[in-house]
Structure 1
Amino acid sequence: MRTGQVSVVPSSVIASVSSYEDAHRTVGYLRSYGMDAASLEVVGAGLRRAERQRAIPVARLTGAGALQGALLGVLAAIFVTLVAQTTLTGLAVVVWGFVYGALIGGLWGLFKGLVRNRPDAVSIEIVPTRYEVRCPPEELSIARTLLADAADIDDGRVEREVIADAPQHEPKPRTEKDAA
């Protein structure tokens, strides 16, 4: 980091909550009492690896493919009726475009469902187990005071704890030299 440059990552943890919505609500509460939004940050903590299988039913993929194909077939049929000369009426061309589009789209969806939709294909994600709301150390006492008075935000459903090892700013004891 260059000299004179300020770190943009707040370093003091104000609260640790179990869901992102609760952390967002906490930030909104602090902002409503005048804290600067640029100084507050929500950080995911306690990361873990989650594996999910993403298999979509074959019938659903077939139906979605048929619907998409039918729409493309209708658009192609409208283009043909406007550009080409045919012995069929415009309505017949649109109906045939719908039928052929649905047939080809359905077959494509079936192929995709049978071949590409493998239930053994697993997606791996890194997800946080909790979210921390952070702020600069200068604003820590203000944020703690606001959250201590936050009876309307802490409705009992939220597991909220104020981190105890955050730095405390206590006044220095007065000496005789300061009194003079």
Structure 2
Amino acid sequence: MILTLKKHKKVLLFLLKFFATYFVLFAIYSSYLKRNQQLDPFVNAPVTQLVANQSAWVLEVFGYQVDKVQHTEELSIFLALNGNYVGKIVEGCNSISLIILFVAFIIAFSGKLKATLLYMLFGAAFIWIINIIRIVVICIMLDKYPEQEAFLHKLLFPAIIYGAVFLLWVIWVNKFSAVKK
């Protein structure tokens, strides 16, 4: 048994660091969401409102007239382009859960402290920006091709954002992680 633990020490250490980081960050985020819902059960958390506002701003830069409306009976923000409803932004659209997953992986495969912290910071910012772009493009596409909603929302755009995170992980492991090659 001890020989097996020594043999798999790196794997066990990775799993311990990953799950510990993930659950701590997830608990903090869940507490944040719960506190926000206690203040007003039908108003999205400020971070989700920020994503909606930033997405609307980018759409407006591209010349769209954007209407954002906080749903009064569920945690979502409706978006309309030029008067056409294109969708809603919910908590899952704000990329925080994905950033938590990204950070947990980076910590589990940590490298030098400065590199780890900088990569987490810039990686999280990159994920945030990709997510805003994802929301903007999906809104434009849904305005033009509403019949493609299932393909766009459930396949194409998740593949883009998860693919971006996977690419960040590959770069981290190959260039900055302390993992022995």
**How does the TM-score come out when normalised to structure 1?**
0.27
Max radius of gyration: which structure?
1
Q: Indicate the structure with greater strand content.
A: 1
